[in-house]
Amino acid sequence: MKKILVLGCPGSGKSTLSRRLGPLLDIPVVHMDKLFWTPGWVSIPRDALIRKLEAELRKDSWVIDGNFSATLPMRLEAADTAIYLDHSSLSCVLRVLRRVLTSLGRVRPDMGEGCPERFDFAFLRFVWSFRKTHRADMLRALDAFKANGGKVILLKNDRETEAFLKSLQA
């Protein structure tokens, strides 16, 4: 595992897992949100995102967290491992709410500069419906990745994630 994608519903723990995985494996961590968002929650143009991402993908090793479906094919092509956090919708919504309560108004380390945490009801709706609207496509992409020789790790809850991390430490 040298080029690892961490995918899953917002609130599933992608950034948290990445921040733990990177130092454990001595691999740099790249957060897609940091590449994509500029101050004031302004997204960069697609071509600029692609250029930034291509520069990261050329590196020898990385852990990249974030879904960004428009860039998923190129990231999967470069990756050797994909970790999918397949947590329940309720769990993800509760984690997002906890994150808002504990980080409101502050910029998280996995977020773009000048993008403070905020409450966004539309985002909560997106999180709640993610399994229904995005999960099947994500799993199909991961099946194709696996068929082409990639390693897929599916983690359904925090307990499985902790066991996975402990297995890497052993």
Return mean pLDDT, the chain.
96
Residues whose CB is less than 8 angstroms from the CB of residue 48 and which lie 6 or more positions away in sequence, other chains included:
none
Single out the residue of 2, 8, 3, 164 nearest to residue 86, CA to CA: 8
pLDDT at 58: 97
Calculate helix-pair angle for 135-147, 121-133, nearest 10 degrees.
Answer: 50
How many domains does the structure of the chain reveal? 1
The amino acid sitting at 1 is M
Single out the residue of 76, 94, 75 nearest to residue 158, CA to CA: 94
Q: What percent of the chain has pLDDT over 90?
A: 95
Which backbone phi and psi does 117 adopt, to 5 degrees?
-60, 140
Question: Residue 134 corresponds to which tokens in the numbers above?
Answer: 């995005």
CATH code, domain carrying 18: 3.40.50.300
Let me know if 138 is exposed, middle or buried by CB neighbors in 10 A (0-12, 13-18, 19+).
buried
Within 10 angstroms of residue 79's Cβ, the number of other Cβ atoms is 22
The amino acid sitting at 113 is E
Residues whose CB is less than 8 angstroms from the CB of residue 114 and which lie 6 or more positions away in sequence, other chains included:
38, 39, 40, 107
Q: Is the pTM of this model over 0.75?
A: yes
**Cα distance between residue 27 and residue 57, in whole Å:** 13
170 pLDDT more than 90: no
**Cα distance between residue 21 and residue 155, in whole Å:** 14
For 44-89, the pLDDT digits (tens) are 999 999 999 999 999 999 999 999 989 999 999 999 999 999 999 9
Range of the domain at 34: 3-169
* Element containing residue 136 per DSSP (H, E): helix 135-147
